[in-house]
Amino acid sequence: MKDLFERPSGGESAILVSVDFGESDYQESLEELRQLSLSAGLAVQGTIEGKRSTPDAKLFIGSGKADELLQAMRAAESNIAVFNHDLTPSQQRNLERLLQARVVDRTGLILDIFSQRAQTHEGKLQVELAQLEHLSTRLVRGWTHLERQKGGIGVRGGPGETQLELDRRMLRVRVKQLREKLLKLKSQRGMQRRARKRSNVMTVSLVGYTNAGKSTIFNRLTKANIYAADQLFATLDTTTHKIYIEGCGQVVLSDTVGFIKHLPHALVEAFGATLEEAAQADLLLHIVDTASSNRDEQIAQVNKVLQEIGAAKVPQILVHNQIDRAGLEPALARDECGRISTLHVSAKTGEGMDLLRLAMAEHYQYLQKQSTEESAYA
């Protein structure tokens, strides 16, 4: 798949740009931008910060900060500016003309990471769809050849059709094709889920903030070897394995893409089919980095995305991971109904994994009891 957000030739040096509009989570958002940039393979040379009440209509950061950014990029010999915000197409074009360098906004950066990490056929289709929809509003960015008229018929466009109009029409056709392919894959996955339901197999999805340790826990439980690293969006594609849990037999376990603050809505929509695994699961294991100082905000952000994808009512167990870093011991807590609601574990050392298996077994038994009671009332 072509990388629509290709990196500039001549290096990966970048300057970060962040504006404080008075948000309470400003510093956390800026740190997250640094981590995203590192995950994208950029070498961060510095950060330009400022305070504003509203974005500047032309340059987002204003002419003074734009000049400061230009000087910083020249001094650091950087050829890319990464903004911790979403830019309008005109703001992005104006900045690139002034800086004579590549400008990437937050959505573009996340899309770039996704394009690097997608491995499965469906994952690549989803990333391409999100990229094309993001690109469609930015077709005029410095492309002077788009201003020329094109003649011809058929695929080359009608008389007097501009290259820009032709490119937009080609994008619309490709987006339609991608949506149709993803819809077919969604239908196939729906049939697989119905088959699992008929076979009385419990489905469990791992959800959580990116870099909370979902993939490491998945590897611990399944003895699989999917990629896990200390970086944002280390894994992108949903991975599903069957495991045996004493007390409930076969369980289908899925590892989903991690969530993040200000996750672009276009990405949530593009990955809707994959995230359906979470919405259709019998149980969610909400993985939390217990050593993170922002864990409460991260939990809230994950729950917000779960609400968006229709998974808010799926039973959830909060799994506080990385207790080895926080100096805690394995533990569990139960809710008012006596069911396990919270766990403290370490995927790295394996501590508490027995409690995680116990929690899944108890939930399976609860589902069986519930099903029996529903059958009796029917």
All domains of the chain in start order, with CATH: 13-104 (3.40.50.11060), 198-377 (3.40.50.300)
What is the biggest distance separating any 2 CA atoms in the chain, rounded to whole angstroms? 75
* 267-294 pLDDT per residue, tens: 666 666 557 778 888 999 999 999 888 8
Q: Which residues contact 50 (CB under 8 A, 6 or more apart)?
A: 19, 20, 61, 62, 65
Residue 44 has a pLDDT of 93
Residue 284 has a pLDDT of 94
Please report which residue ranges of the chain form alpha helices under DSSP H: 26-39, 62-76, 89-99, 106-117, 121-135, 163-198, 214-222, 265-270, 272-279, 295-308, 323-326, 353-377
Quick check: 9 pLDDT over 70? no
Quick check: 318 pLDDT over 90? yes
How far are the Cα atoms of 145, 250, 259, 361 from residue 207, in angstroms, in the given order?
Answer: 45, 20, 8, 19
Q: Which residues of 65-93 are buried (b: 16+ CB within 10 A; e: fewer)?
A: bbeebbebbeeeebbbbbbbbbbeebbbb
Q: Which residues contact 89 (CB under 8 A, 6 or more apart)?
A: 137, 138, 140, 141
Higher per-residue confidence, 232 vs 2: 232
Q: Would you place residue 10 in the very low, low, confident or very high pLDDT band (cuts 50, 70, 90)?
A: very low
Q: Would you place residue 84 in the very low, low, confident or very high pLDDT band (cuts 50, 70, 90)?
A: very high
- One DSSP character per residue, 52-83 reads -SS-BTTTBSHHHHHHHHHHHHHHHT--EEEE
* 18-74 pLDDT per residue, tens: 999 998 888 888 988 998 898 888 999 999 999 999 999 999 999 999 999 999 999
The answer to whether residues 294 and 28 touch, using CB atoms and an 8 Å cutoff, is yes
The answer to whether residues 314 and 283 touch, using CB atoms and an 8 Å cutoff, is yes
Q: Which residues contact 331 (CB under 8 A, 6 or more apart)?
A: 343, 344, 352, 355
CA dist 143 and 139 (Å) reads 8
Q: Which residues contact 252 (CB under 8 A, 6 or more apart)?
A: 196, 201, 202, 203, 204, 240, 241, 242
* 145-191 pLDDT per residue, tens: 434 444 443 444 444 456 667 777 777 888 888 888 877 877 776 66
Mean pLDDT of 289-313: 87
CA dist 152 and 159 (Å) reads 6
The answer to whether residues 13 and 43 touch, using CB atoms and an 8 Å cutoff, is yes
Q: Which two tokens stand for residue 46?
A: 């510095």
Q: Around 166, how many Cα atoms within 13 Å sit in the side-chain half-sphere?
A: 19
- For the chain, give the mean pLDDT: 80
Mean pLDDT of 297-313: 87
Higher per-residue confidence, 194 vs 102: 102
CA dist 18 and 14 (Å) reads 13
Higher per-residue confidence, 99 vs 9: 99
The one-letter amino acid at 346? S
Quick check: 5 pLDDT over 50? no
The answer to whether residues 290 and 344 touch, using CB atoms and an 8 Å cutoff, is yes
Residue 356 has a pLDDT of 95
What's the length of the chain? 378
* 326-370 pLDDT per residue, tens: 899 999 999 998 999 999 999 999 999 999 999 999 999 888 888
